Amino acid sequence: MNLKTVLTKDTISLHLKGTTKEEIIGELLDILVAANKVQDRAAAFNALMDRERKMSTGMKHGIAIPHGKSATIEDLVACIGISDNAIDFDSLDHEPCRIFIMTLSPLDKTGPHLQFLAEISLLFKSAEKRVEILKAQTADEILKILAE
């Protein structure tokens, strides 16, 4: 999967304002709604929070990958948000998060969802990439870093 086919400048936010897990997820979802990628915000939010209640999507190294599946989503959609502040996200390493990659997919299409999560996980194992993402000043810079 090519991240550039899923992510665009209008699905990247460099200055998330939320201070809690719920606020960050809501803010990321608002990005997808504004980009016309999600029509039913309430259903999408419920799918994301249901998944979060099962197990936190806070990974390691300051990254969280909130994700969910909903009958209201036709094709995989995703967005990236960077927070100026570290947010407690119940991460595996108990460290707060600043990089958030959110994805939603249809209930009946597992392949793209798993492929996206695997690609994101591989991408962010690089400490250099994480630092570059946090230093980025524009959405174009983020897209360039992800494409490298």
* pLDDT block averages, 10 residues each, the chain of length 148: 79 96 97 96 96 92 93 93 95 95 89 78 82 95 88
Give buried/exposed letters for 15-43 (b at 16+ CB in 10 A, else e): ebebeebeebbebbbbbbeeeebbeeeeb
pLDDT of residue 82: 97
pLDDT of 1: 54
CATH superfamily of 3-147: Mannitol-specific EII; Chain A (3.40.930.10)
DSSP states of 73-98 = -SS-EEEEEEEEEEE----TTS--EE
Give the integer Cα–Cα distance in Å for 68 and 52. Answer: 9
pLDDT at 125: 81
Q: What are phi and psi of 98, to 5 degrees?
A: -130, -20
**pLDDT the model gives residue 135:** 96
**Per-domain residue ranges of the chain:** 3-147
